[in-house]
A and B are shown apart, each in its own frame.
Chain A
Amino acid sequence: MEEALQLIANGVVIGSVIAVAAVGLTLVFGILRLINFAHGDFLTLGAFAAVVGTGAGLPLYVAAIPAILVGAGVMGGLEKVLWGPMRRRGASTVNLLIISIGLALVLRYTLFWIFGSGVYRYGPISQRIDFGLFALTPQDVIIVVGSAAALFGVALMLQKTRIGKAMRALSDNKDLAEASGIDVNRVTMITWLIAGALTAYGGIMLGLQGRVFANMGWFLLLLIFAGVILGGIGSAYGAMIGSMIIGVTQELATHSAIGLPSDLKTGVAFLVLILVLLVRPQGIMGRKQAL
């Protein structure tokens, strides 16, 4: 029983990070129907941007700020010079998907180029704190709390603010949004900026686990897809729920009663992803629509 609780706790930690990244991905998908294969590498970008700051001696919470701005800026910049122009040229979502694969490679290996293949960290990893039923490092706790705060902020924005409602409206029915007078281009750009900031933040959360390296986001990408698809693509709340389920499930699968080798735990998430797409493609919170 204790083993299970510890695994669940671990799952909540990684699930939180996946959730933050997944919400960014699904927000963009909601308005553009674009599956961005470079999304994981934006996590890495955020994590490394913070490494630059901490490497210069800044505490993480200070270094995080320019890192988040960089993330938002790059995503917003790409909308302006790449995605927007390609959409206006009539590029299909498949064209854009393939472009995103190329972008992922460019981004990732530029980070390799700049930072090499080494592993970085923000600071020393502290001892695990015993919470009785399970143990987590202080960093893990920060990750869970920090992610929850960000997700709560996003939820609040989507529910209560005018721009949040416009984002949801655009995701529901772009033509109707336009017919209502909503400035689609502006809302699209704001969505990218929010997604960029959120993803960079997610990367920093991921990095807090103690290892920042150039492949970190890429390794998480399929898990993020799993979380998004399980939750229902296009639904931010779905992405949060789906990601937590994915995070916890893959950890629990390594329970001694089940006996799955730790190497294969991501395989469990992958199987969930495939099953969902075959059996209930709209996921938990999605609406039944032509996929």
Chain B
Amino acid sequence: MIPYIEGVILTAGIFALLAQGLNLHWGFTGLINLGHVAFFAVGAYTMGILNTQFEVPLLPSFLAAMVAATLMGVIVGLPAIRLRTDYLAIVTITIGEIFRLILKSGPGVSELTRGPRGIRGFSNDFYFFRMDIGLGFLSPTQYLLLIVWVTVAVVGVLLYLLIKSPWGRVLKGIREDEDAVRALGKNVTAYKMQSFALGAAIAGLAGVFFAMDIGSLAPDTYLPIITFQVWTIMMLGGSASHSGPVVGSIIFWAIFNGTLFIPREIISGAEAAYLRQIGIGALIMAIMIFRPQGILGNREEMALDK
């Protein structure tokens, strides 16, 4: 039972990071990013490829993963300069899918990514490292869990400070009325790109941890459904709230994994899986219809009624 709960908390932590990144895009800057899973994938794959194919040690791989995710954030952010929200939604989800296709079957790329079957074997050093710093008494999962949640806390504080700063105020201004901010002489494009880049970097880091958790990489793990899960978590906790991603993620994964306990006699495993997805869809609709600010969010902060 305990390892099971640890697993849930670990996943919740990873997705809290993802939601923190997305919250920066949507909650604070008003950019509708439906391709978030791409940053997740970039982080995981960069680390995995560098480590297994090019024998790059772990820490540099981690950093490279974040840089790669940041670059991806800039790429995805480029359309955002010109495009309005609805079209940005389509473009971001499309970029995410193109990326997944390239990872899977891209000429040249798929040799590196090992195509649909993916990559393994990068996580051992990571876990052995814990002995070196005297945390050998923790199981691998507990160790990862600790690292992930410390990261969530650090990122949370960082984002809190950033959003309170003048930089953060400009982001919020862009969310409310981009033209007004531009009229004040601010380079709106630069701020949007920075928001995209930072949120992507955070998601890339989450990707690295996720890869460590699973121990392998496969392109079809990184489907749009993950982006939708992160959106649900962010909306549930409350967009533009700092603790929202944490609260949303814990509740989401508790319920999600809770359904795994429904006895097979009542519904089969496959049916439970379908039910979970129906639940996510219904949750998204319900939040948006009845309580758009989520649990912890603030009605005034809602980037919705534009």
Chain A positions within 8 Å of B, measured between CB atoms, are 33, 35, 86, 90-95, 97-99, 101-110, 112-113, 116-117, 222, 225, 229, 259, 261, 263-264, 266-267, 270-271, 273-274, 277-278, 281, 290-291
Given the complex, which residues of B lie within 8 Å of A33, measured CB to CB? 86
- Docked CA distance A104–B280 (Å): 10
The reply to whether the CB of B274 lies closer than 8 angstroms to some CB of chain A is yes
Query: Within the complex, which residue of A105, A112, A229, A274 is in contact with B95, where a contact is CB–CB below 8 Å?
Result: A274
Let me know if A105 and B97 touch, CB within 8 A. no
Given the complex, which residues of A lie within 8 Å of B97, measured CB to CB? 222, 266-267, 270
Let me know if B278 and A105 touch, CB within 8 A. yes
Given the complex, which residues of A lie within 8 Å of B52, measured CB to CB? none
CB within 8 Å for A116 and B306 given contacts A102-B284, A109-B278, A225-B90: no
Contacts between chains A and B (CB distance < 8 A), count:
134
- The residue of chain B having its C-beta at the shortest distance from the C-beta of A228 within the complex is B90
Query: Within the complex, which residue of A101, A104, A112, A263 is in contact with B274, where a contact is CB–CB below 8 Å?
Result: A112
Given the complex, which residues of A lie within 8 Å of B275, measured CB to CB? 109, 113
CB within 8 Å for A99 and B288 given contacts A94-B86, A274-B94: yes
- The residue of chain A having its C-beta at the shortest distance from the C-beta of B81 within the complex is A278
B198 CB, nearest partner CB in chain A, Å: 22
9 contacts between A and B (CB under 8 A): A93-B85, A94-B306, A97-B86, A101-B284, A108-B277, A117-B270, A222-B93, A267-B101, A270-B95
Let me know if A95 and B304 touch, CB within 8 A. yes
Let me know if B231 and A267 touch, CB within 8 A. no
The reply to whether the CB of B79 lies closer than 8 angstroms to some CB of chain A is yes
Chain B positions within 8 Å of A, measured between CB atoms, are 32, 34, 78-79, 82-87, 89-91, 93-95, 97-98, 101-102, 104-107, 228, 231, 235, 270-271, 274-275, 277-278, 280-286, 288-289, 292, 303-306
CB within 8 Å for A101 and B228 given contacts A94-B32, A94-B304: yes
Instruction: Give the 10 A-B residue pairs with the shortest CB-CB distance, closest first.
Output: A105-B281, A102-B284, A102-B285, A106-B281, A263-B105, A109-B277, A102-B281, A112-B274, A113-B274, A109-B278
Given the complex, which residues of A lie within 8 Å of B235, measured CB to CB? 98
Let me know if B91 and A277 touch, CB within 8 A. yes
B222 CB, nearest partner CB in chain A, Å: 15
CB within 8 Å for A92 and B304 given contacts A225-B90, A291-B87: yes
CB within 8 Å for A261 and B105 given contacts A92-B304, A116-B270: yes
- Docked CA distance A113–B270 (Å): 8
A77 CB, nearest partner CB in chain B, Å: 15
Query: Within the complex, which residue of B79, B271, B285 is in contact with A106, where a contact is CB–CB below 8 Å?
Result: B285
Given the complex, which residues of A lie within 8 Å of B280, measured CB to CB? 102, 105
At the interface, is chain A mostly helix, strand, loop or mixed? Answer: helix
- The residue of chain B having its C-beta at the shortest distance from the C-beta of A106 within the complex is B281
Given the complex, which residues of A lie within 8 Å of B95, measured CB to CB? 270, 274
Query: Within the complex, which residue of A93, A261, A277 is in contact with B79, where a contact is CB–CB below 8 Å?
Result: A277
Let me know if A222 and B289 touch, CB within 8 A. no
Let me know if A273 and B94 touch, CB within 8 A. yes
Let me know if A291 and B281 touch, CB within 8 A. no
- Docked CA distance A7–B83 (Å): 34
Let me know if A109 and B281 touch, CB within 8 A. yes
Add 12 more A-B contacts to A116-B270, A225-B90 (CB < 8 A): A93-B86, A97-B85, A98-B231, A112-B274, A229-B90, A261-B107, A266-B97, A267-B98, A270-B94, A270-B97, A270-B98, A291-B83
- B101, B277, B288: which has the most chain A beta carbons within 10 Å? B288
B80 CB, nearest partner CB in chain A, Å: 11
- Docked CA distance A273–B235 (Å): 28
Given the complex, which residues of A lie within 8 Å of B98, measured CB to CB? 267, 270-271, 274
- The residue of chain B having its C-beta at the shortest distance from the C-beta of A259 within the complex is B107
Given the complex, which residues of B lie within 8 Å of A267, measured CB to CB? 97-98, 101-102
- Docked CA distance A35–B90 (Å): 9
- Docked CA distance A235–B57 (Å): 54
Let me know if A106 and B270 touch, CB within 8 A. no
CB within 8 Å for A92 and B306 given contacts A105-B228, A106-B282, A270-B98: yes
- Docked CA distance A84–B84 (Å): 23
Given the complex, which residues of B lie within 8 Å of A259, measured CB to CB? 107
- Docked CA distance A144–B278 (Å): 34
B86 CB, nearest partner CB in chain A, Å: 5
CB within 8 Å for A277 and B285 given contacts A90-B305, A105-B278, A263-B104: no
